[in-house]
Amino acid sequence: MAISKSEEFTKIENKISDWAKALSHPARIKILKILAQKNVCMCGDIVDLMPLAQATVSQHLKELKRVGFIKGEIEGPKICYCLDYSTVTEAQKKLNELFDGIIIIK
Amino acid sequence: MAISKSEEFTKIENKISDWAKALSHPARIKILKILAQKNVCMCGDIVDLMPLAQATVSQHLKELKRVGFIKGEIEGPKICYCLDYSTVTEAQKKLNELFDGIIIIK
DNA sequence: ATCGTTCATCGTAAATATACGATGAATATT
DNA sequence: AATATTCATCGTATATTTACGATGAACGAT
């Protein structure tokens, strides 16, 4: 947000911070858990489980899609959202590498 | 940011998203790496390694301190910043629990 | 006491995030 | 073709983030 000097940082620093940004709202954490644990994938079903309006949930889904945590498959007038495990796994791995680099050394 | 309905979500959802928010800027990722890997702790030294003005770095340090990732110990006119390993470790653990819950199930 | 160093905070400008109602686009059904 | 359903996007209001220069507070040294 706002005049960010992202060119001044490394690719991995930008990538990790971008993933973290996608996780930086409790609604998006909750959406990821819903998609993983409930047998649910449609936007409307997610809205029913969330304390937010449909438009707001849609915005959060867009942000999760932007970083690749979820994919949306069109099924007629519906869209079935599902987790993209490869991206989620990659994010976990890189975040752990960051944490390990921070914690182990010294 | 902005009219966030944080009461509507669980404590852990808010906590994880708060940690993620602290990691959601490449400058803060870089600061954490600097504190871990370089023999550096003073704000001025960090500023010298960053492509940002002193005031901006100070703001990022404040955000990292807010969530407990770093502590600041006063040494005369200087302040020695250091990582708070217990908080960083806790964040890593909870983030991994989130990821594992998302990835393993299903 | 004065001066220099170090860092936080103030003030400000511009961009982004959050939230919602309203509307629009796409498709399935009748 | 008309209708209903589903979801995205528009428009809008407000809050937060990011960035910087300027200033202030705190301390050590002279």
* Average pLDDT value over all residues in chain A: 95
Query: Mean pLDDT across the stretch A89-100?
Result: 98
Fold (CATH) for A13-103: Arc Repressor Mutant, subunit A (1.10.10)
Can you give the residue ranges of every domain in chain A?
13-103
CA–CA distance, A73 with A70 (Å, rounded to integer): 10
Q: Which CATH code fits B20-103?
A: 1.10.10.10
* Closest chain B residue by Cα to residue A99: B92
Q: For residue A105, is pLDDT > 70?
A: no
The predicted-structure confidence for A63-89, as pLDDT tens digits, reads as follows: 999 999 999 999 889 999 999 999 999
**Taking the CA atoms of chain B, what radius of gyration do you get in angstroms?**
16
A101 interfacial to chain B (CB closer than 8 Å): yes
Q: Strand ranges (DSSP E) for chain A?
A: 70-75, 78-83
pLDDT at B46: 98
The predicted-structure confidence for B58-85, as pLDDT tens digits, reads as follows: 999 999 999 999 999 998 889 999 999 9
Nearest nucleotide (C1') to alpha carbon of B24: D17
Q: Among B73, B66, B35, which Cα is nearest to A105's?
A: B35
Cβ distance B4 to A11 under 8 Å?
no
B47 interfacial to chain A (CB closer than 8 Å): no
pLDDT at B76: 87
Q: For residue B105, is pLDDT > 80?
A: no
**Are residues B36 and A4, on separate chains, in Cβ contact within 8 Å?**
no
